Amino acid sequence: MYLCDFQQRIRYGETDQMGYVYYGRYAEFYEIGRTEMIRKVGMTYRDLESRGIMMPVVKMVCNYFRPIAYDELITIRTVLRKLPTARITFHHEILNEAGELINEGEVHLVFTDATTRKPIRPPKDLMEALAPFFSGTEEN
Amino acid sequence: MYLCDFQQRIRYGETDQMGYVYYGRYAEFYEIGRTEMIRKVGMTYRDLESRGIMMPVVKMVCNYFRPIAYDELITIRTVLRKLPTARITFHHEILNEAGELINEGEVHLVFTDATTRKPIRPPKDLMEALAPFFSGTEEN
Amino acid sequence: MYLCDFQQRIRYGETDQMGYVYYGRYAEFYEIGRTEMIRKVGMTYRDLESRGIMMPVVKMVCNYFRPIAYDELITIRTVLRKLPTARITFHHEILNEAGELINEGEVHLVFTDATTRKPIRPPKDLMEALAPFFSGTEEN
Amino acid sequence: MYLCDFQQRIRYGETDQMGYVYYGRYAEFYEIGRTEMIRKVGMTYRDLESRGIMMPVVKMVCNYFRPIAYDELITIRTVLRKLPTARITFHHEILNEAGELINEGEVHLVFTDATTRKPIRPPKDLMEALAPFFSGTEEN
């Protein structure tokens, strides 16, 4: 298992007239979470793309437990439970300042060759960077 | 079962650097879908809110099958499979101009009293407007 | 002068906690306006891009006169006052259902070669399509 | 003069298919800038709102000089050149990692009573917090 926490303040533009963050904006929080997790292992998603690897999202699940308001400092917790295959799944928890769970999400992406648009194995250096955090019997 | 189709063009601002619609923007398409479905039965979500009924989203599931590009005219198909209880579930299909399924989603919302923030039964007039489309033994 | 009106409903996700459309979302309305204006002369911005012409925005001015609420049907009025040179300027007026002016904007874009990233003259077919609407002595 | 710098990474969802940040997203960067500036003087915009003060935007001007890409760490520089009256004007500069100016904006807001929706004088405590940074002959 590999875990990464990242903190972010809620923007005014992320709220809607109900007075809390719009339900569609959580996808950006998840995106921040996985971007920062990849950075934490010493790589960047930006660099992966420049090497011809695209990672389109194929599935997202969001569960909304509590609302979150403008200017709150949220923690975006991103967890990789298993080593990726052609598919990588990030689990996310969004916590408010009191540490309460406000949202839970999972995002599934597929390593894709930018030219052929075909699924590919995850890049070797990413696998090697992640390997130390996983031991034993993973499967996707 | 109750079904509503609504067409919408993809905005440039909805794309990302992969060249297709950003995965987080589909939530807005679903929102358009349910807004137009409620309008089609002769009510508006806006009016429900002004009567003190809020409908926060508690769960969303998105499946992404194909990418969709700027300026394409999509069809947002919204289906209500069952009469709502305190919870209402909308199923969505996004189709491209060729009629191909590009995305499938479901959004679960809860009828909520804007003052007490407690779940409530769906408004009578909405239930009466929907009833003719459902027959027999639905439950959520 | 060339004018194009296009109608659009305000999405819930476009509002913020003040209860009206977020000030940053008007840029998307302007974008819809110019997209539809180009379509009205028989071309598409999408096609221009596929021919290697990019049109980055170099300046935007927005004046906000009245708020606009969720579900209102706005009219996006787009006006081209002068034939473009390497720069094209769109003027926009956003009207509410009562026909009141709620917002006024202008967006300046530059015709750019997608490969060299240098400014270029506007495409001939676009100029020819626009010419009938302009007479006499325009310059940018 | 009062100045505040704040750093922020570009999100994937902020880019468009041209490969850079969408021109409409800069409004959110300006919003982050003024939020953080107010925090820096020991107050929060969130608190102002809870005291019944709303600050709708009445004008925005954006000048785009260079594109900015995904994952770049931008500096949002916010400058208050004059003490506010009923109107407050923030000037913004967005700098890339190399310190180059990529965008310049100004946003004009009006202190407004949330109940009467009438313009009001800026709150005393905000004026007192800002005063030390201004000397002599300001006018709006």
**Which residue of C17, C22, C25, C28 is the best one to mutate when testing the A interface, meaning the one whose CB has the most A CBs within 10 A?**
C17
CA B69/CA B37 separation, integer angstroms: 25
Q: Contact partners of A by the rule of 3+ C-beta pairs under 8 A? A: B, C, D
Q: What is the pLDDT of residue A117?
A: 94
Does B17 contact chain D (CB < 8 Å)? yes
Query: pLDDT tens digit string along A49-96?
Result: 999 999 999 999 999 999 999 999 999 999 999 999 999 999 999 999
D17 vs B19: CB contact, 8 Å cut-off? Answer: yes
The pLDDT mean for chain A works out to 95
Per-residue pLDDT of chain B (140 residues; tens, 9 = 90+): 999 999 999 999 999 999 999 999 999 999 999 999 999 999 999 999 999 999 999 999 999 999 999 999 999 999 999 999 999 999 999 999 999 999 999 999 999 999 999 999 999 999 999 999 997 654 44
> Torsion angle of alpha carbons A40, A41, A44, A47, nearest 10°?
160
B13 vs D24: CB contact, 8 Å cut-off? Answer: yes
B46 vs C13: CB contact, 8 Å cut-off? Answer: no
∠A123-A126-A130 over CA atoms, to 5°? 140
∠D78-D86-D116 over CA atoms, to 5°? 120
Instruction: Find the residue in B nearest to C72 (Cα).
Output: B46
Q: What is the pLDDT of residue B37?
A: 97
Q: What is the pLDDT of residue C135?
A: 79
Q: What is the pLDDT of residue D135?
A: 79
A27 vs B28: CB contact, 8 Å cut-off? Answer: no
Query: pLDDT tens digit string along D59-109?
Result: 999 999 999 999 999 999 999 999 999 999 999 999 999 999 999 999 999
Query: pLDDT tens digit string along A24-37?
Result: 999 999 999 999 99
Cβ contacts from B onto C, under 8 A: 36
DSSP B10: P
Query: pLDDT tens digit string along C11-65?
Result: 999 999 999 999 999 999 999 999 999 999 999 999 999 999 999 999 999 999 9
Instruction: Find the residue in C nearest to B70 (Cα).
Output: C46
Domains and CATH numbers, chain B: 2-121 (3.10.129.10)
Banded pLDDT at C138 (limits 50, 70, 90) = very low
Q: Which residues of D125-137 are buried (b: 16+ CB within 10 A; e: fewer)?
A: ebeebbeeeeeee
Percent of chain D with pLDDT over 90: 96
Tokens found for residue D123:
């709150």
The pLDDT mean for chain C works out to 95
Is pLDDT at D138 greater than 50 in this prediction?
no
CA C75/CA B71 separation, integer angstroms: 19
Is pLDDT at D140 greater than 50 in this prediction?
no
Tokens found for residue C131:
């010419």
Closest of B104, B105, B106 to residue B89, by C-alpha: B106
ipTM value, please give it: 0.94
Does C70 contact chain A (CB < 8 Å)? yes
Banded pLDDT at C97 (limits 50, 70, 90) = very high
Q: What is the pLDDT of residue A99?
A: 97
